[in-house]
């Protein structure tokens, strides 16, 4: 599955401010970031259909995120 890669990648290497070598975690995927941003839209869509359970909202948010990633790939 295409998760879009890291949403906010952090470089690894020498960190002069702390005088040490860093090994940052890449954090959440772009898919997770998009899904989080789509929560309100997904919730509103589920409410309009009368199915606003947490599970349905999450499914809707990830469906929107997947559509955003697919559209993003078209423009690359």
- For residue range 22-73, what is the model confidence (pLDDT) as tens digits? 666 667 899 999 999 999 999 999 999 999 999 999 999 999 999 999 999 9
pLDDT at 67: 96
**pLDDT-based confidence at residue 15 (cuts at 50, 70, 90):** low
Q: Give the Cβ contact number of residue 51 at 10 Å.
A: 13
SS3 of residue 24 by DSSP? coil
Global pTM value? 0.74
Q: What is the pLDDT of residue 5?
A: 86
Please provide the distance, in angstroms rounded to a whole number, between the alpha carbons at the two ends of the chain: 17
**In the chain, which ranges are continuous DSSP H helix?**
30-37, 39-49, 54-74
Residue 70, pLDDT score: 95
């Amino acid at each position: 599955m295409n998760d879009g890669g890291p949403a906010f990648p952090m470089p690894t290497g020498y960190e002069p401010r702390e005088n040490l070598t860093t090994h940052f975690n890449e954090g959440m995927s772009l898919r997770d970031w998009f899904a989080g941003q789509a929560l309100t839209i997904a919730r509103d869509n589920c409410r309009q259909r009368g199915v606003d359970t947490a599970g349905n909202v999450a499914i809707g948010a990830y469906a929107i995120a997947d559509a955003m990633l697919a559209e993003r790939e078209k423009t690359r």
